Amino acid sequence: MTKHQQRQRYRFEREFSRVAVVAPWLVKLRQPGCMLLRLFLGVFLMIGGLLAVLPVFGLWMIPMGLFLLAIDIPVLRAPLATIIVRARWWWHRQRAHWFKAK
């Protein structure tokens, strides 16, 4: 494994652990024998996220689905970790701006 791949893996693991605090069921789904269930749930969550106008579904389902798919599809890990790091950076910057304005 190259240094770049190790860094991507570390970033994905760090972001996954932060999401797993919110959704502890993701930790159980991460076991090796649950691959088909992860793929099914990942696709289902992403489709459900697109139906966010309905009361049960929401946009929160899209990142959860991506996390589940990224466990089995290594190509998704790096872009997903990058998007989450940038989104968190943007959120902290916006939050600091909002509270500074008050």
Extract the residue ranges of the chain whose pLDDT is less than 50.
none
What is the pLDDT at residue 40? 92
Pair of tokens at residue 17: 């652990």
pLDDT of residue 43: 93
Q: What is the residue-wise DSSP string for 24-63?
A: THHHHHTSGGGHHHHHHHHHHHHHHHHTTTSSS--TTHHH
The answer, as to whether pTM is greater than 0.75, is: no
Task: Count structural domains, the chain.
Answer: 1
Q: Which of 89, 90, 49, 91 is nearest to 69 (CA)?
A: 49
Distance CA 87, CA 50 (A): 19
Predicted confidence at residue 101, as pLDDT, reads 60
The pLDDT of residue 102 is 57
